[in-house]
């Protein structure tokens, strides 16, 4: 049975849907390898129109009270909750995320994030007195939001929700690989009552449409999620007109298993966390740091965890391991594996991968040198490394020996011990004993070092998209 053709993804400019008329950019289902729709470049012209609409809508939106903004965010949350199944299924088609994960992270999570923003907006200290001055948290202006393909709906809501809560207008450029979920969200925003130009959407690639958005001098702030080189380019381009930036640039996160941990519980959980979304998650625990004395037991548990995985059609609720999001991503991961070499001990790859789809079987490496590319680089695929340590000081040194600093996990039989150890890690977020980021939608998320700067989610995410005006009397 042929799948529904989704047509060409549209742009939303000033409350009106506009279809970009440039050359088609196919949107391909990574399991069937067949096009399901297409998009095209908005380009500099249509992007400039979207910024003009955002600038025109800005004064009225800035005057909208925080309470009214919060009410609209709650209204949008209700509408997305009603369409959560449709949104999750759409993203499974666009980028191959297994249906169960998509339902949790792309269907259920976005409404919860919006409600957390609404709650934070009502309680936010928009004004306060310090040393005889009145401090006002004010909107920045027009915010450009550039979102990735790996967690598309969640990333859109994390950026757009915070910006709207803070009183900014937004021009969103979603990934060209996942354009249709952005249209669904934007349509819901119109239905919720956000006025024309408060949220606009421009479709296209980063080097064309994304660059046009970042370079527009009327854009006051750019919130970007993507690779380190792309983020550095965004920051440099935005700096050309002194726009501020929020950058979330990926990670090489460690799951540290302290000596008192129950390995039978922690190892499978760490493997699952590292291979979530086939490893296409910025906070995936792709480094598992374990006691050297436990390596034999850890290897056996890792093999068992891989054997329990089910590869297949991501629409099947039984599937736990789906394809990579595109042929390009599959080829990139394969190339990295080929050039890095595989002469070290490797657990067997997942058996019985489908004969079609952009699959790469998961691999877990033991015994790689700390300078090995698979230890240092973000693969963004199903590749984990196991790193041994001798004592807790060594464990912290191993975990911190990374150019990235986005997140980490710590596992221990004693949560207080785990929290004490967490304070030694130079990362933006640490999760204890299997807590998931999506379980805490009001907790700030963001990195250090090469993982970028700024925070998303909750009150901190709103604060990041405001400026402080001090009025002295």
Q: What is the DSSP letter of 106?
A: I
All residues at 6 or more sequence positions from 307 whose CB lies less than 8 Å from its CB, including other chains: none
Q: From CA 99, how far away is CA 101, in angstroms rounded?
A: 5
Do residues 70 and 132 lie in contact, with contact meaning Cβ atoms separated by under 8 Å? Answer: no
All residues at 6 or more sequence positions from 343 whose CB lies less than 8 Å from its CB, including other chains: none
All residues at 6 or more sequence positions from 173 whose CB lies less than 8 Å from its CB, including other chains: 42, 47, 144, 145, 146, 147, 201, 202, 203, 204, 206, 209, 210, 213
Does 211 qualify as catalytic in the annotation?
no
All residues at 6 or more sequence positions from 410 whose CB lies less than 8 Å from its CB, including other chains: 255, 256, 258, 418, 419, 421, 422, 425, 430, 431, 432, 433
Length in residues, the chain: 473
Q: From CA 421, how far away is CA 412, in angstroms rounded?
A: 10
Q: What is the DSSP letter of 443?
A: S
Q: Which two tokens stand for residue 434?
A: 């299997």
Q: From CA 59, how far away is CA 81, in angstroms rounded?
A: 30
All residues at 6 or more sequence positions from 213 whose CB lies less than 8 Å from its CB, including other chains: 47, 50, 51, 144, 146, 171, 173, 202, 219, 222
Within the chain, what is the greatest distance between any pair of CA atoms?
72
Q: In this structure, how many other beta carbons lie within 10 angstroms of the beta carbon of residue 348? A: 12
CA-only gyration radius of the chain, Å? 22
Check the CA dihedral 213-216-218-220 and report its sign. Answer: positive
Q: From CA 234, how far away is CA 239, in angstroms rounded?
A: 8
Q: Which two tokens stand for residue 202?
A: 């421009």
Alpha helices in 216-326 (DSSP H): 228-239, 263-274, 295-307
**From 248, 378, 409, 456, active-site residue:** 248
- How far is the first Cα of the chain from the last one, in angstroms, to the nearest whole number? 71
Active site residues: 248
């Amino acid at each position: 049975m042929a799948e529904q053709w989704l047509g060409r993804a549209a742009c939303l400019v000033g409350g009106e849907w506009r279809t970009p008329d440039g050359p088609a950019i196919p949107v391909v289902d990574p399991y069937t390898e067949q096009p399901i729709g297409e998009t095209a470049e908005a380009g500099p012209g249509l992007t400039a129109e979207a910024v003009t609409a955002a600038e025109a809508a800005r004064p009225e939106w800035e005057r909208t009270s925080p309470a009214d903004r919060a009410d609209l965010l709650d209204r949008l949350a209700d509408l997305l909750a009603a369409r959560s199944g449709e949104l999750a299924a759409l993203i499974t088609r666009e980028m191959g995320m297994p249906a169960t994960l998509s339902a949790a992270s792309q269907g259920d999570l976005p409404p919860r994030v919006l409600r957390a923003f609404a709650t934070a907006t009502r309680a936010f200290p928009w004004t306060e007195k310090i040393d005889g001055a009145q401090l006002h948290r004010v909107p920045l202006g027009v915010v450009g939001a550039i979102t990735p393909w790996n967690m598309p709906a969640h990333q859109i809501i994390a950026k757009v929700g915070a910006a709207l809560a803070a009183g900014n207008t937004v021009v969103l450029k979603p990934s060209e690989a996942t354009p249709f979920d952005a249209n669904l969200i934007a349509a819901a925003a119109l239905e919720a009552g956000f006025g024309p130009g408060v949220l606009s959407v421009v479709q296209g690639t980063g080097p064309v449409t994304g660059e046009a958005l970042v370079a527009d001098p009327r854009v006051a702030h750019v919130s970007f999620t993507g690779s380190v080189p792309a983020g550095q380019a965004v920051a440099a381009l935005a700096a050309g007109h002194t726009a501020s930036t929020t950058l979330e640039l990926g990670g090489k996160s460690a799951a540290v298993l302290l000596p008192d941990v129950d390995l039978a519980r922690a190892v499978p959980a760490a493997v699952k966390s590292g291979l979530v979304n086939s490893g296409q998650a910025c906070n995936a625990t792709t480094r598992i740091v374990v006691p050297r004395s436990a390596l034999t037991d850890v290897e056996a548990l890792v093999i068992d965890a891989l054997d329990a995985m089910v590869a297949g059609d991501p629409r099947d609720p039984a599937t736990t391991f789906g394809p990579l999001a595109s042929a390009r991503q599959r080829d990139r991961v394969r190339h990295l594996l080929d050039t890095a070499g595989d002469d070290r001990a490797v657990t067997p790859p997942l058996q019985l991968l489908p004969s079609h789809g952009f699959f790469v079987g998961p691999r877990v490496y033991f015994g790689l040198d700390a300078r090995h590319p698979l230890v240092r680089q973000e693969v963004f695929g199903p590749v984990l490394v196991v790193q041994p340590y001798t004592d807790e000081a060594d464990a912290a040194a191993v975990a911190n020996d990374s150019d990235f600093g986005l997140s980490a996990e710590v596992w221990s039989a004693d949560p207080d011990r785990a929290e004490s150890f967490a304070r030694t890690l130079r990362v933006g977020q640490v999760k204890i004993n299997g807590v998931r980021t999506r379980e805490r939608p009001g907790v700030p998320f963001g990195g250090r070092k090469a993982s970028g700067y700024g925070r998303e989610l909750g009150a901190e995410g709103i604060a990041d998209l405001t400026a402080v005006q001090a009025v002295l009397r």
